[in-house]
Amino acid sequence: MDMKVKYRLPSLPPQAELDDIDQALITLMQRGLPLSPTPYADLGKKLQLDEDEVIQRIQKLDNDNVIKRLGVVVRHHELGYKANAMTVWNIPDELVSELGTCMGQFDFVTLCYRRPRRLPEWPYNLFTMIHGKDREDVLANIALLAKRCNLDEVERKVLFSTRRFKQRGAIYR
């Protein structure tokens, strides 16, 4: 009997249906929201839309999760979160969703993704980014996480970054 397990990638989430006006609005907001008392009306003026329509379109983009979040994005390093570690876990497939959700609740966990294992070299399938003031603080946070989500028996690896070579924002079309 062939016991070889083939790994199949799930299909990517469907691309949202966006019309030209949505696209124009998305591009315009990439530079940020106007710092004026009526930012949505001001965006509308540039696109010849009234304020209500701008608000409704942004609301729809938010409901469809095209917009994950509206607000500020902080630079961790500038705010005293000097250390971070990519912490990876080897979790039984049937438990990934439950344990990932548990880990995602913590403030110091900024990313919590399932990724494919690359056996035999790489058995880890859950990736978390853990922040802290320094390395000790990061390790304390990881210990807390392991305790609270019952992960003490789970094989894990902590990968601190030692140098950053390049950082830029993602480019969207």
Told to check if 69 binds another protein by CB under 8 A, we report: yes
Told to check if 48 binds another protein by CB under 8 A, we report: no
Q: How many CB atoms sit inside 10 A of residue 88's CB? A: 19
Contact 44, 50 (CB under 8 A): yes
Told to check if 63 binds another protein by CB under 8 A, we report: no
Told to check if 74 binds another protein by CB under 8 A, we report: yes
Which stretch in 22-30, 138-146, 148-156 sits in contact with another protein by CB under 8 A? 22-30
- Residue 54 phi/psi, 5-degree rounding, is -60, -50
Q: How far is the CB of 1 from another protein (least distance, A)?
A: 27
Told to check if 143 binds another protein by CB under 8 A, we report: no
Residue closer to another protein, measured from CB, 103 or 142: 103
3-state SS assignment for residue 122: strand
Which residues inside 107-126 make contact with another protein, applying CB under 8 A?
Answer: 107-116, 118, 121-122
Q: How far is the CB of 93 from another protein (least distance, A)?
A: 10
Which helix (H) or strand (E) segment holds residue 99: the answer is helix 96-104
> CB-based contacts of 16: which residues, under 8 Å, 6+ apart?
61, 64, 66
